[in-house]
Amino acid sequence: MAIKNNNPDRILVGTSGYAYSEWVDAGFYPPGTGSARMLAHYARIFPVTEINYTWYQMPKAAAMDRMRRRAPEGFRFTAKLTRTLTHEVDPNGWPGQATLYREGIAPLVQSGQLMAVLVQLPPFFRRNPNNRRYLARLLDALGDLPLAVEFRHTSWATDRVFAGLQARRVALVCVDVPPLPDLFPPLAMVTNPDLFYVRFHGRNTKGWRSGNMQKQFDYDYSDEELARWSRTHIPEIARQAATGIIFFNNHVRGQAPKNARMLMGQLTEEG
Partner 1 sequence: MTEDRSIIHINVADFAVAVERVLDRRLLGRPIIVAPEGAARAAVADMSEEAFQAGVRKHMPLSRALGRCRDARVLPPHPARYRQAMTRMLKSALPCSPLIEPGDGDGHLFVDVTGSSRLLGPPVDVAWRLYRRIRRDLGLAPIWSVATSKLIAKTATRLVKPLGEYIVEPGDEAAFLAPLPLFLVPGIERDDLTRLNDFNITRVFQAAAFTADQMRTLFGHRGAFIHERLHGIDPSPVHPANQPPPRVIEFREFGDDTNDRSHVEGTLYRLVERAGRQLRRQALAARRIGLVLEHTDGVRRIRQVRATPPTANDFSLFAHARRVLNLAWIRRVRLRRMTLVCDRLTYPPAQRLLFEPERRMAEKQDRLMAVMDRIRHRFGTDALVMGRTPAAVDELQKTEAG
Judged by CB under 8 A, the residue of 5, 15, 49, 52 near partner 1 is 52
Judged by CB under 8 A, the residue of 7, 57, 99, 268 near partner 1 is 57
Please, where are the H alpha helices in 5-93?
22-25, 35-43, 53-56, 61-69
Judged by CB under 8 A, the residue of 62, 136, 163, 180 near partner 1 is 62
Q: What are phi and psi of 202, to 5 degrees?
A: 95, 165
Contact characters 189-208, partner 1, x per CB under 8 A: --------------------
> Which lies closer to partner 1 via its Cβ, residue 93 or residue 193?
93
> Which lies closer to partner 1 via its Cβ, residue 88 or residue 140?
88
Q: How far apart are CA 77 and CA 85, in angstroms?
A: 20
19 touches partner 1 (CB under 8 A):
yes
Stretch near partner 1 under the rule CB under 8 A, chosen from 1-9, 62-70, 157-165, 222-230: 62-70
Least separation in angstroms between residue 90's CB and partner 1 is 11
212 touches partner 1 (CB under 8 A):
yes
CB 247 within 8 A of CB 16: yes
Contact characters 133-162, partner 1, x per CB under 8 A: ------------------------------
Taking each continuous run of H as one helix and of E as one strand, the counts in the chain are 11, 9
Which one-letter amino acid corresponds to residue 248? F
> Which lies closer to partner 1 via its Cβ, residue 46 or residue 217?
217
Q: How far apart are CA 99 and CA 95, in angstroms?
A: 6
Query: Burial level of 114, CB count in 10 A (0-12/13-18/19+)?
Result: buried
- DSSP letter (8 states) at residue 233: I
Least separation in angstroms between residue 224's CB and partner 1 is 27
Judged by CB under 8 A, the residue of 71, 85, 170, 252 near partner 1 is 252
Which one-letter amino acid corresponds to residue 188? A
Q: What are phi and psi of 103, to 5 degrees?
A: -65, -40
Least separation in angstroms between residue 53's CB and partner 1 is 5
SS3 27: coil
Q: How far apart are CA 46 and CA 103, in angstroms?
A: 27
Query: Burial level of 248, CB count in 10 A (0-12/13-18/19+)?
Result: buried
**Contacting partner 1 within 223-242 (CB under 8 A):** none
**Contacting partner 1 within 99-118 (CB under 8 A):** none
> Which lies closer to partner 1 via its Cβ, residue 20 or residue 197?
20
Least separation in angstroms between residue 35's CB and partner 1 is 4
40 touches partner 1 (CB under 8 A):
no
Q: Quick one: which of 178, 98, 198, 180 has its CA closest to 139?
A: 98
SS3 194: coil
Residues that bind partner 1 (CB under 8 A): 17, 19-22, 24-25, 32-37, 52-53, 56-57, 62-63, 66-67, 70, 212-214, 252-253
